[in-house]
């Protein structure tokens, strides 16, 4: 589908960097150019469940077995304790991601296993393993263009700190609050992904989030600009073209294929952006560094919106764990 110059998608590209939220290379090719491409366990499951990837899944399972055997001999810490099916899913995800990279100008984002959300050590190992797999299967693709998506727990953001210092780009995902955003900037994340809607809007039919976080996206970007942070704002979890266009002016924005298609139509109306309103003064900010005071960060996050932000994070991690389980079941079914 050709994107016309007078479409809402073309307008959006004049105000924000537009990324695609998919692992379908055909979408990236048809509706690009895109800067980055984002993904997660739900997106990976949707893509890998397609019949055309049956052989890829079987090949990934075989490759995982041989790789585990060779890594056991070298005792590579990136592969310590990982199960065969989990590694096979990581290989399959990286392989479909590589197919998308041809149509990108920037980075490919891969999310770590959500079961590691509260383990800094396992998240770091998972991230370095993903980087290794990209080098293994796409040796000519620049590894600096890999971005690791990590849930915005305290442990996850400590992993982001280590990875950023090692030269690996990170995105703090499932972010619902200013305390999370402040800590993400302190650890040097390349991006943060505020979820405008709770993740369950995509999984629970009929559920509508009555507290969409448009103003938080504006406040975070204003705060980052005010302190000269390198971290960029990349909102996610959007459910309509109006919601996407309401964020025109944000640094980056990631958009799912159905919404990209609607935005590319010439008759898609352009609505006003929250970034055009003077609505968000800086929210109450900490007097001390969260990075140096874990307890202060934890209580600030727990208290945010009377616990609602923490609840949303827990809910999102649970949903992504469910999708990780579905990926494992998928690879088992294709390898038997």
The residues that are catalytic are 149
32 SS3 class:
coil
Strands 146-151 and 37-38, by their bridges, are unpaired
Q: Three-state SS across 188-254? A: CCCEEEEECCCHHHHCCCCCCCCCCCHHHHHHHHHHHHHHCCCCEECCECCCCHHHHHCCCCCCEEE
**Are the C-beta atoms of residues 1 and 255 closer than 8 Å to each other?**
no
Measured CA to CA, the distance from residue 261 to residue 26 in angstroms comes to 12
Distance, CA of 332 to chain centre:
25
**Are the C-beta atoms of residues 158 and 187 closer than 8 Å to each other?**
yes
Measured CA to CA, the distance from residue 42 to residue 312 in angstroms comes to 17
Q: What are the residues facing 254 on neighbouring strands? A: 19
* Cα four-point dihedral sign 73, 74, 78, 81: positive
Select from 154, 167, 177, 185 the least CA-distant residue to 294.
Answer: 154
Measured CA to CA, the distance from residue 196 to residue 236 in angstroms comes to 6
CA angle 235, 28, 318 (to 5 degrees): 45
Measured CA to CA, the distance from residue 246 to residue 252 in angstroms comes to 13
């Amino acid at each position: 589908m050709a994107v016309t110059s007078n479409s809402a998608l073309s307008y959006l590209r004049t105000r924000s960097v537009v990324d695609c939220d998919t692992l379908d290379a055909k979408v990236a090719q048809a509706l690009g150019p895109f800067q980055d491409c984002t993904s997660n366990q739900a997106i990976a499951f949707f893509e890998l469940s397609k019949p055309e990837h049956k052989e890829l899944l079987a090949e990934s399972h075989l490759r995982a077995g041989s790789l585990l055997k060779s890594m056991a001999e070298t005792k590579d810490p990136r592969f310590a304790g990982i199960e065969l099916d989990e590694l096979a899913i990581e290989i399959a995800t990286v392989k479909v991601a590589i197919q998308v990279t041809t149509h990108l100008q920037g980075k490919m984002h891969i999310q770590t296993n959500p079961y590691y959300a509260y383990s800094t050590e396992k998240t770091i190992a998972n991230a370095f393993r993903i980087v290794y797999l990209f080098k293994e299967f796409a040796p000519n693709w620049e590894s600096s263009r890999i971005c690791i998506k990590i849930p915005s727990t305290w442990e996850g953001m400590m992993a982001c700190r280590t990875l950023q210092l090692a030269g690996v780009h990170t995105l703090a995902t499932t972010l619902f609050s200013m305390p999370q955003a402040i800590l993400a900037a302190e650890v040097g994340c390349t991006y943060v992904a505020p979820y405008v809607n709770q993740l369950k809007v995509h999984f629970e039919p009929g559920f509508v989030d009555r507290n969409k976080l448009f103003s938080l996206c504006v406040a975070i970007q204003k705060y980052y600009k005010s302190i000269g942070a390198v971290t960029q704002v990349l909102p996610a979890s959007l459910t309509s073209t109006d919601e996407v266009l309401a964020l025109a002016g944000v640094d980056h924005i990631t958009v799912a294929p159905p919404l990209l298609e609607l935005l590319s139509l010439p008759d898609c109306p352009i609505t006003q952006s929250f970034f055009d309103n003077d609505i968000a003064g800086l929210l109450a900010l900490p007097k001390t560094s969260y990075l140096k005071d874990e307890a202060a960060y934890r209580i600030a996050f727990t208290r945010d919106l009377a616990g609602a932000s923490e609840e949303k994070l827990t809910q999102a991690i649970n949903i992504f764990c469910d999708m990780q389980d579905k990926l494992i079941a998928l690879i088992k079914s294709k390898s038997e």
